[in-house]
Every structure is written in C-alpha cells, then in structure tokens.
Structure 1
C-alpha cells in the first residue's frame, strides 16, 4: 500500500508548510485513506442514481428485454415449418 500520497506534516507556527511522507502517525494516515475511499464510494453511488444514469439503465434494460423476446421467438419457430 502506498502511504506517501496521503501524508503531510502538522503546521508549525513561523515555518512554511512542508509536506513530508510518513510525517503523520499510522492511525491518522489510515483514517485519511479511509475517509477518501468513503468519499469516492459515495460519489460513485450518487453518480449511479443521477437522472441520466437511471434513464440510460432503463433504456438498456428495455433493449435487453426486447432482444431476449426476439431471440426466444426465433428459437421457438426455428424448427416449425408452419410459421
């Protein structure tokens, strides 16, 4: 696991902020990583429920149902010379 991307030093008065890897404790790094992962998960869930995504999903499901019905109809009449 790469922990260097989420670490930063604590601000010290009178000194410029400098980012150094592994400056925070393990629990703080893990908490930040977990927080960012939860944020990404939450944003993905919101994107799944956007109006455009819902409409696209409904359209795709309808097309799938139509294709399945067409395939079943073809399979049912494949060996029947009357139809």
Structure 2
C-alpha cells in the first residue's frame, strides 16, 4: 500500500518523513492531497522542505537547540508584513 492510497483514508491525516531523500519528499507533496499533513524530520532539508510546502518539521536537534531551529521555521511561514501562515 502506498502513502498516496493511505492519504485517502479518513483516519490517516499525515506522515512524518524520516528518510533522507528529498526526491521522495517531493513525491509525497505531489501525490497526496493538500490537506494531508507532511512533516520533515531531516534537519538538512528543513528549510527547503518548508519552502516546498511541508507542514512542519520535527528535527532531533530541536531538543538541544530549540531557539536556533525555531528561527528556521518561523520565517518560512511569515510574510514580510509579519502575517504568519500557521
């Protein structure tokens, strides 16, 4: 069964991508409905993933450097006029 198939199930609302393959992440974005939440785990791809449409990221480094990683997440969701898309 594929993630795209599971995305159609009412009880499955999203996925946390813990792989290290940005091409797979892009496929998740393309093949699932917009309301299906996609979270990125890879810190290396965090900003790129947020810019491409990830709903958030769950980096392990946030346990050690939460403020630093918040500086990546917050600006990616805010426009120059400071309105944020949460």
TM-score above 0.5: no
Q: Which of 1 and 2 has greater Rg?
A: 1
Greater relative contact order, per chain length (Cα 8 Å cut-off, separation 6+): 2
Indicate the structure with greater strand content: 2
Higher fraction of helix: 1
TM-score (norm 1): 0.22
